[in-house]
Amino acid sequence: MDLDPTLGKEQQGRRPVLVITDANYNQFGLCITLPISSKIKGYNTEVKLPNKMQIEGVILTNHPRSHDWTIRNIKFIESLDGAIFQSVKIRLKVLLGL
């Protein structure tokens, strides 16, 4: 997905993202994503992707963004394992105080 334009410390450029919204929400042309970075910094907000996946790196759970996916040049690559998505949800709950 193309994340430009961005400001400040936001992830930018074309990069893989994890779409965390479901099809019911996405049908309106919007989605909420978490960027995936190949630069592992060891923060507790990062979720490492399994080695068996096509994409390598960590999901940055502290960088959620809403997008109009209809204009962002989005391309599906692969699905995420349920256990990894559960780790993402736990970190999002902590981040959001839920």
Average of per-residue pLDDT values in the chain: 89
Read off the pLDDT band of 26 (50, 70, 90).
very high
CATH of domain 17-96: 2.30.30.110
Backbone dihedral region for residue 74 (phi beyond 0: left; psi -120 to 50: alpha; all else: beta): beta
More confident residue, 55 or 71: 55
Phi, psi of 70 (to 5 degrees): -70, -20
Cβ neighbours for 33, distance < 8 A, ≥ 6 positions apart:
1, 17, 18, 19, 20, 64, 65, 67
pTM equals 0.85
User: Is the pLDDT assigned to residue 14 strictly greater than 80?
Assistant: no
Asked if residues 55 and 49 have their Cβ atoms less than 8 Å apart, the reply is yes
